[in-house]
Structure 1
Amino acid sequence: MQGLNDFLLMLDGFLGSAAWFPFVLLGVGLFFTVYLKFPQIRYFGHAWKVVRGKYDIKSAMGDTTHFQALTTALSGTVGTGNIGGVALAIHIGGPAALFWMWATAFFGMTTKFVEVTLSHKYRVKTADGTMAGGPMYYMDRRLNMKWLAVIFAIATVISSFGTGNLPQINNIASSMESTFGLEPLLTGGVLTVLLALVILGGIHRIAKVTSRIVPLMAFIYVIGALAVIFYNYQNILPSLVSVFSDAFSGSAAAGGFLGASFAYAFNKGVGRGLFSNEAGQGSAPIAHAAAKADEPVSEGIVSILEPFIDTIIVCTLTGLVILSSGVWTEKHQNSFQTADMRYLSGQYTDTAEADRVALSSFLIGSNEAKVEPYTGSVTVKDGVAIAPEYTLINAHSVAEDVIYLVGGHPYSGEMKIEKGKLVNSELEVTGRSLLHSAALTTKAFTKGFFGDYGKYIVSIGLLLFAFSTAIAWSYYGDRAVTYLLGVKAVMPYRVFYCAGFLWAAVADTTVVWNLAAVAIVLMTLPNLFGIMILCREMKTTVADYWTDFYQQRSERKD
């Protein structure tokens, strides 16, 4: 598993974590925002009218209403990215990461408008009578680039596991275990059965389920978040100030947090923003292609609401909960995961400025870092390392009160470490360190009016968020499989999708997140390339929509 994680990190280093990727993602959004004259602002009010059905035409082709298409797409985006993803971004990038998530969402509103409009325009009716759309169809039918369409469709299938399947159940199982003491395998087994019952019914059943889950989960989560934010009301303004003040300078060290440079916060904020709202990834257009609409632009306008709801509202609430509660800089007792641990030569402490600078440089991958991984053998007695010559870093922080266990009992014997990694796979490591992902958000939710009961809100919210995401992504995957292999291949895909869902309940969290990071970019790059080529057609299509819209309104008045 460690080898797989290292391979995924290497790929991510060339893709999503590379310095060029955030500029490409934001650059495309910025270009279309200016080129189309800020549609995310000008069409925002119109979008709410369309989604309420004000301009619906009963004879329009499609399988779902505008609202159902929106909630299906939202169920695919509002998931662990809003709970665990925001926490992970702040954990490694500091408050500044939240600012760059906002920027990604603002420009992403336009990107999503473009990709949904073009995908809806070139959708098709499949052999079973349902609608199928997405970037692979405009790539094939309009650009005549079947090779690019195939690449995107394959990437979508991979991403359906790496984004919508594996991280979702992994976070659910982890949360349920820490909150209710439920075994991950039990959680995975029960939810896999429920997942199968939903997705076997196709888009009609998926749309009905998500249109009910999304409003419920949003209500529960917002109430819980506000209970924390207003409980810590004195920290609201300082938290917001830190978001903006650190945006172009990076976040300084605070508590157990070792600090992050501007480049690191920018990269992680944009990356987590994409994972959260998926603007530019090309996933949401697949859901919107099923909407009953004869005007592709009308559905594109509806999609503008997604990044706003997903990131500007939900992610902001999560971010303010974490920042105002202060738990993001505090060390807590927890079990360490192998992929989170690094053993470094020498003794370091996060209370000394020089040590903090050295460790921070190492963690962000700076070439100037003088910290070296540790290799050697250490004697452990009754769970405690004897005179260690290393510093253990866990979750980007200096670990404290570290205990080594085997089968829940203190370990005594030799412990081998090679190039900063623990060799003894049977050892369980516990201690105090920073938290990240869903565990950090869960801890933050206990610092409000509901006290320790707040963790149940996160667990229930995460269950609903993540489960609905898995449902939506199964649809994205089966539309991609339909394009590649035809309708007959959909059922085998769904079976395999459910099997992966069960497996991921007991997989390593860090490995799952890294797989998701790679899969996202494999979808995003072909899609961004495609919509840029069609920029002129997009502008003409939008102009024609408004000409027809105002003409029809004039005729109705006459």
Structure 2
Amino acid sequence: MLKTIETINTVVNNFVWGVPAMICIIGVGLLLSIRTRFIQIRKFPYAIKTTIGRMFRKKEASDGAMTPFQAVCTALAATVGTGNIAGVAGAIAIGGPGAVFWMWVSALLGMCTKFSEVTLAVHFREKNEQGDFVGGPMYYIKNGLGKHWQWLAVLFSAFGVLTVFGTGNATQANTITTAVNSALLNYNIIQDSQTDFCNLLIGIIITILVALVLFGGVKRIGKVTEKLVPFMALLYILLALGVVLLHIENVPSVFRMIFEGAFSPSAVTGGAVGSFFLSMQKGVSRGIFSNEAGLGTGSIAHACADTRKPVQQGLFGIFEVFTDTIVICTLTALVILCSGVPVSYGSAAGAELTISGFTATYGNWVSIFTAVAMCCFAFSTIIGWGLYGARCIEFLFSSKVIRPFMLVYSLVSILGTTMDLGLLWSIAETFNGLMAIPNLIALFLLSGTVVRLVQNYFEPSAR
């Protein structure tokens, strides 16, 4: 039975993340970029100035909403996760260093895609029975495209509910146990025979913490993420920059490997990775897996923001993809490639490759800090995706099912820490990709609305 499921999932996964998907994701990003006259480049300085300025502005959100900063932290909580650590490592191992170049390309277009998603989410959002702002792809499909497209909104929400348990929770909880066990075993605090009990204990702790945050509603989610995300991102960036600075002499050759490997991967990997398309596919898919541009999920958090200006909140989408992929994912790649750790090109790799880059530079003591960073990344992702799942299931049924959903979602953490998740990782990636299909169709059809909103914001005299 499991073999059959695995075979079916492999076929679907290869299609979802294959040539058609790459064309659609890059194509929609390019279309939006052209129609907005590459707003992510043209208005990049303005976007950074505006978003950073609003981050440090102390303001309490109204009832049922988050501050704009809390909204972006919640979205970053879901995106800055294991994709930045394990995902980048896997892309380099399977696709070669050139995969990093294609990650940058997907991020450049993804900035405009996410800007459009956030702008539409705030513009077409509504209030639920509790008075909370709700929005995202299902709502801009419903309110922007009309009742004839309702099935598309239902499809997105259904895929969203199926995705959150795997991508958002179980796999993240599993990453936490891997990080904690690695650190504890490294210092002989526990033995191999004790890891099963340790995993169960970690699962129970995660379940309690997740439930405490999620049952507090959007206010508590926002307050937790605005503290946790800046801390974890800064800690990771400082550690990664240290590796790069200590191996600064390797940086020029690393960038040469990235650019050369993007178009001729076999020349850099010694023939282990011979396919140009494989390098591009892994770079694009892992980039999207990390920053979620095209999936539409991040816009669900941004729709909770206490703001009246959709485009202004949309600028956070540009900042978000830039921070997640151009900054953090690039630093992860440099940690691996600059540190000189051996990479088995053509074979799968995960967080252990990134961790080895840190330990090769600093020594084993740094495993404690990398474990803390990975736990923060994974826990914040569980919280962010908990909000996404709650909004999706609320759209499908009603707000009455939110609390039962959150209870079940919290308990999934125990399964994630105690079970082998080999197949679940693959299934989660498949559903993750399926979410992009209805969202990309909506973005294509609503691209004119994005252009109009941009013109009204930046060129009010042209109205």
CA RMSD of aligned residues (A): 2.3
Residue in structure 2 matched with residue 496 of structure 1 by the alignment: 408
Work out the CA distance in 1 between the residues paired with 2:125 and 2:323.
26
Structure 1 stretch displaced more, 523-532 or 181-190 = 181-190
**Selected match of 1:443 from 356, 364, 374:** 356
Higher relative helix content = 2
Check if 1:221 corresponds to 2:236.
yes
- Contact persistence 1:96–1:251 (CA under 8 A): no
CA 1:534–1:328: 2 relative to 1, 3 Å: farther
Residue in structure 2 matched with residue 33 of structure 1 by the alignment: 33
TM-score after normalising by structure 2: 0.91
Counterpart amino acid of residue 211 in structure 1: E
Residue in structure 2 matched with residue 93 of structure 1 by the alignment: 95
Report deviation, 1:214.
Answer: 0.7
CA 1:146–1:56: 2 relative to 1, 3 Å: farther
CA 1:177–1:251: 2 relative to 1, 3 Å: farther
Check if 1:308 corresponds to 2:337.
no
Check if 1:283 corresponds to 2:297.
yes
Structure 1 stretch displaced more, 135-144 or 75-84 = 135-144
Report deviation, 1:140.
Answer: 1.0
Is the partner of 2:93 in helix, strand or coil?
helix
Structure 1 residue runs without a partner (length 5+): 331-359, 364-395, 397-434, 552-558
Work out the CA distance in 2 between the residues paired with 1:71 and 1:474.
14
CA 1:5–1:507: 2 relative to 1, 3 Å: farther
CA 1:179–1:3: 2 relative to 1, 3 Å: farther
Residue in structure 2 matched with residue 179 of structure 1 by the alignment: 183
CA 1:456–1:7: 2 relative to 1, 3 Å: farther
Structure 2 residue runs without a partner (length 5+): 186-194
Report deviation, 1:184.
Answer: 2.3
CA 1:59–1:469: 2 relative to 1, 3 Å: closer
Work out the CA distance in 2 between the residues paired with 1:114 and 1:233.
37
Work out the CA distance in 2 between the residues paired with 1:10 and 1:492.
33
Is the partner of 1:445 in helix, strand or coil?
helix
- Contact persistence 2:63–2:132 (CA under 8 A): no
Counterpart amino acid of residue 37 in structure 1: R
CA 1:104–1:61: 2 relative to 1, 3 Å: farther
Residue in structure 1 matched with residue 143 of structure 2 by the alignment: 141
Structure 1 stretch displaced more, 240-249 or 167-176 = 167-176
Work out the CA distance in 1 between the residues paired with 2:302 and 2:449.
19
**Selected match of 1:248 from 254, 263, 279:** 263
Is the partner of 1:329 in helix, strand or coil?
coil
Work out the CA distance in 1 between the residues paired with 2:40 and 2:281.
23
Residue in structure 1 matched with residue 73 of structure 2 by the alignment: 71
**Selected match of 1:154 from 152, 158, 162:** 158
Report deviation, 1:62.
Answer: 6.1
Report deviation, 1:59.
Answer: 9.4
Report deviation, 1:67.
Answer: 0.8
1:165-218 deviation line (CA, Å, top 9, x unaligned) = 122111111122222135322222211211111111111100000000011101
1:423-470 deviation line (CA, Å, top 9, x unaligned) = xxxxxxxxxxxx71111111111021x211222222111100110011
- Contact persistence 2:96–2:269 (CA under 8 A): no
Work out the CA distance in 2 between the residues paired with 1:58 and 1:169.
32
- Contact persistence 1:92–1:260 (CA under 8 A): no
Report deviation, 1:164.
Answer: 1.5
Is the partner of 1:517 in helix, strand or coil?
helix
Is the partner of 2:418 in helix, strand or coil?
coil
Report deviation, 1:302.
Answer: 1.7
Work out the CA distance in 2 between the residues paired with 1:204 and 1:117.
21
If asked which structure has higher relative contact order (CA below 8 Å, sep 6+), I would say 2
Report deviation, 1:61.
Answer: 8.4
What is the count of residue pairs matched by the alignment?
447
Check if 1:120 corresponds to 2:122.
yes
CA 1:6–1:454: 2 relative to 1, 3 Å: farther
Counterpart amino acid of residue 495 in structure 1: L
Residues 161-172 of structure 1: pairs in structure 2 closer than 5 A: 161-172=165-176
1:105-155 deviation line (CA, Å, top 9, x unaligned) = 110000001111111111010001111000101111221211111001111
Check if 1:459 corresponds to 2:371.
yes
Residue in structure 2 matched with residue 42 of structure 1 by the alignment: 42
Report deviation, 1:253.
Answer: 6.6
Report deviation, 1:530.
Answer: 0.4
Residue in structure 2 matched with residue 324 of structure 1 by the alignment: 338
Residue in structure 1 matched with residue 438 of structure 2 by the alignment: 526
Higher relative strand content = 1
Counterpart amino acid of residue 502 in structure 1: I
Is the partner of 1:446 in helix, strand or coil?
helix
Report deviation, 1:263.
Answer: 0.7
